[in-house]
Amino acid sequence: MLSCCDSLTSQDGVEAKMTTAVVPGSPLPSQGDGNVYYILTDDFAYGSKLFPSGSMCFLKERLYLRSIACGTTSTRCMRVTMLDDHSIATVEAEILQPVNEEEAVFLLAINNLNERLNCFLDRCSLEVAVKATVGQQVIVDLSQHLFTGTIRYIGKISKSPLSSPLCPSYFGVELQGDGEGKGHSDGTYNGSEYFKCKQNCGLFLPLNKIQFIPALGSDPVREEPKPDVDEVVPVKAGDTIGFYLDDIFRQGIAMDVYKEGTQWFVKVCPEEEGPTDVFRDIPMDSVVKEGLLSPVFEPDMAPGSQRQLKRERSGSGEELESEKQSLDVNSMVQITLGKGNPVSGIIRWLGYLPSIEPKMAGVELDEEKGVTDGEWLGTRYFRCPPKRGLFVKLQSCQPDIRFQCVSSGLLDPSTCSRMDSPKVLANFPPLRNGTAVRVLQGRMRGIQGHCNSCYMDAALFSLFSCTSVLDSMLFKPSLPPDGHVQKILRDEIVNPLRRNGFVHANSVMQLRQQLTEKGQCSSFATSEKDPEEFLNLIMHHILGIEPLLKLQSGGQKEQECYCYQIFIDKQEGLVVPNVQQLVEHSFLSSNLKLVEIPSCFIIQMPRFGKEYKMFSKIIPSLELDITDLLLDSPRECFVCGDVATEECSECFKDKMFAVTGMKQYCKSCCRQAHSHYQRKAHRPTKLHVPEEFQSRSHMDSPRIPRERMELFAVLCIETSHYVSFVKYGPEKENWLFFDSMADRHGDENGFNIPIVTLCPEVAKYLQLPVAALAMEQPRDMEGVAKRLFCDAYMYMYQSKKMALYK
């Protein structure tokens, strides 16, 4: 008779095998008649059906709790119901990650399974979505164009099917500013009204199409009750007022109302100041509200003269307009306040405010020199910390010279070499998809190179711009002497890169100087280095990060390292190899196995310096299958799919077999393959078969899951100069090319201009047959594709699933 831990039967007669595998930190479900939800972190085949990674499923809560009470750990599978098609399947427990219900409803709304899994693994957007509230400002991604909007509804927009326990939750968003008219509804969906807005200004979106404001990494500002200024003073922020200044009557907009001691003051932006907002602090008893202004105060002039005055007040508007066209939400800007004091910040909102004619910008300042937290006359347009927000005329905003010095002829480029990147203390997530393009693409983007720093620039951009797999380097507790290095890396390099898209050379130089002090080498701040030398020093000797790779050779003691160098003899059959082939040949020739699945796998190609390359071209493997490279892991017979018991290194080199994949067999296939006269001399080696797989046949299900890692970056070298390619999205065309010294301004006293460009042409060559790619002349390849295929030095792969535990 089975115990309650071996097999459980629900009231509807469905048998369910249980597991006690619980991810540390994941919330246990509360007791009741609900469900426990999971997401698949890997593809899984059950019978003839394939369930892709990102699929979601559930289990009755009472069955889950009974299995926990039993405390068994021997069962590896769970019998679950899939949410997408309501089929029942037995799934490997190790590829299931628990999801609480409030997160599951948002994930279920994402139809693209790859995007769904990425949202779950990255966590940031999912956690913010759960905390989102109606009225919160957001940025909406519509066909790679970004528009501001406000959340007006959160919840389901259709009835749950009787067969499904869960209904997807969407965000109802009202588009604002330039996004007006680009929606699809007025807040109504399928005849039901969920909120009200103008026609074609409403959208219902899943969380992956929304960026929440404030930016990720910052805690939403708690709304504090504000005093009702109307009951105390006759003027409030936003009012048009008249006042005397230097015995001349002027008009302007009240930006803030505040009290010093017993005296009330109004911070005013005068209309006559032209393209620069100079704020004036005027006593309350010296101002009068627009509605109380007497006609005698209005200048006596004809309509034509009024239009002329308006043009004069706005300055040379046509000349300024072209400059402002480049400013958009998230542009870095500078604003001149009273007494000529400049402040810098980021545009968080663009549009028109009630009763104010010019187009306005809502700016989050770098310092507490603002007057708001993103609210204007009771309506929230964006969110930022108190006293960091400011509403100004768009024409008052100038592109920040620290980040746009080369692109604008109106600015003095020489100032760029003297500017430092501001520290960013809030933590920001990696940039993905359209956000990566918007923030990173362009001149003076990425990490600015200086004095042989390209090895470090390329490595840092690759590791941190679009992935979080090694973010543990930023947050792992460090000893006091090494904490400074970590702070520089996090607050002056990674966070500014993810927030602003630019890191000044001075920030990298500070890191290089610290490495020189703490390393064995005295030339990190001046000399050329290799990326692996930098990575080994900072990961191992300074930050003490656990080694990324654990290897074992022929039963000997485990070896640990951070990067893996491929060593192989020249292979006649490998003319244009891919990374998968090179890794397999290298592991086989050295008799190596991975002791565990790495979260990050950094692989150096078989080349030495700038002179010697073993292969003229190498094809990037977008996925690296490491299933057969794992020590003591169950493996499939590559002939029949049964559990493999033997491996043959000689068969691996046999041209009769496939060019990739280790050659392992079940007992019967091994006997049959080696009955051929050319293979009788082969000496297969025994494989360790886990106990639970020893009695399994290829007719059993489920199949052994494949362990795959995804490519996220490639470092390349040509004539001693390092550049990098970074994968910023799921499509084959989603590649960025980064060069920290792509251009230069000035001579000896000048500075380098880093540039990040899109390189979708890479996809064309990835799809070519190997023979056609071999015939391609490097000089004829489009764009920068030649650099990726011909100059690859280091490939970087990640396992997002394992990164959860690292």
Residues 9-50: pLDDT tens digits?
Answer: 333 333 333 333 333 334 444 444 578 888 888 777 777 788
448 and 537 co-located in one domain:
yes
Which pLDDT band holds residue 230 (cuts at 50, 70, 90)? Answer: very low
Averaging pLDDT over each range in 147-161, 339-353, 589-603, which range is the top one? 589-603
Q: Is residue 272 part of a domain?
A: yes
> How many other C-beta atoms can be found within 10 angstroms of the C-beta atom of residue 36?
23
Q: Is residue 396 part of a domain?
A: yes
452 and 365 co-located in one domain:
no
Residue 795 pLDDT > 80, yes or no? Answer: yes
Exposed (0-12), middle (13-18) or buried (19+): which is 392, by Cβ within 10 Å? Answer: buried
653 and 679 co-located in one domain:
yes
CA 581/CA 593 separation, integer angstroms: 15
Look at the block and give the residue holding tokens 């246990």.
28
Closest CA relative to residue 197, chosen from 149, 145, 140, 141: 149
Element at 118 (helix H, strand E): helix 113-122
95 and 119 co-located in one domain:
no
95 and 114 co-located in one domain:
no
Which pLDDT band holds residue 567 (cuts at 50, 70, 90)? Answer: confident
CA 726/CA 478 separation, integer angstroms: 29
Specify the CATH number for the domain of residue 67: 2.30.30.40
> How many other C-beta atoms can be found within 10 angstroms of the C-beta atom of residue 655?
8
120 and 206 co-located in one domain:
yes
Element at 44 (helix H, strand E): strand 44-46
110 and 208 co-located in one domain:
yes
Q: Is residue 572 part of a domain?
A: no
User: Does the annotation mark 721 as catalytic?
Assistant: yes
pTM: 0.56
Residues 525-541: pLDDT tens digits?
Answer: 777 888 998 898 888 88
Residue 279 pLDDT > 90, yes or no? Answer: no
Q: Is residue 198 part of a domain?
A: yes
Of 563, 637, 721, 759, the active-site residue reads 721
Instruction: State both tokens at 445.
Output: 């983007």
Q: Is residue 63 part of a domain?
A: yes
Of 119, 454, 648, 651, the active-site residue reads 454
Last residue of some domain: 48, 74, 99? 99
CA 283/CA 298 separation, integer angstroms: 22
CA distances from 428 to 124, 402, 432, 665, 673 (A): 9, 20, 12, 47, 54
* Contacting residues for 553 by C-beta, under 8 A, at least 6 apart: 559, 590, 591, 592, 593
Q: Is residue 773 part of a domain?
A: yes
Residues 669-700: pLDDT tens digits?
Answer: 888 888 888 787 788 878 877 766 666 655 55
pLDDT at 661: 67
Look at the block and give the residue holding tokens 């960091």.
388
Q: Which amino acid is at 657?
A: F
- In the chain, % of residues over pLDDT 70: 74
pLDDT at 646: 83
pLDDT at 656: 65
CA 328/CA 147 separation, integer angstroms: 9
Whether the CB-CB separation of 756 and 503 falls below 8 Å is answered with no
683 and 713 co-located in one domain:
no
Closest CA relative to residue 503, chosen from 511, 368, 369, 476: 511
Instruction: State both tokens at 218.
Output: 């910052």
CA 149/CA 201 separation, integer angstroms: 9
* Contacting residues for 99 by C-beta, under 8 A, at least 6 apart: 37, 38, 39, 56, 107, 120
Q: Is residue 282 part of a domain?
A: yes
661 and 759 co-located in one domain:
no
455 and 528 co-located in one domain:
yes
Residues 620-676: pLDDT tens digits?
Answer: 999 998 888 888 777 878 777 778 878 887 777 666 666 566 787 888 788 888 888
Last residue of some domain: 254, 270, 288? 288
Q: How many domains, the chain?
A: 6
363 and 447 co-located in one domain:
no
Specify the CATH number for the domain of residue 755: 3.90.70.10
pLDDT at 138: 84
Instruction: Tell me which residue range forms the domain holding 355.
Output: 332-400
Average pLDDT, the chain: 76
Q: Is residue 568 part of a domain?
A: no
Last residue of some domain: 648, 669, 693? 693
Residues 384-435: pLDDT tens digits?
Answer: 877 788 888 888 888 876 554 444 433 333 344 434 556 787 788 899 888 8
What are φ and ψ of residue 607, in 5° steps?
A: -145, 155
95 and 191 co-located in one domain:
no
User: Does the annotation mark 637 as catalytic?
Assistant: no
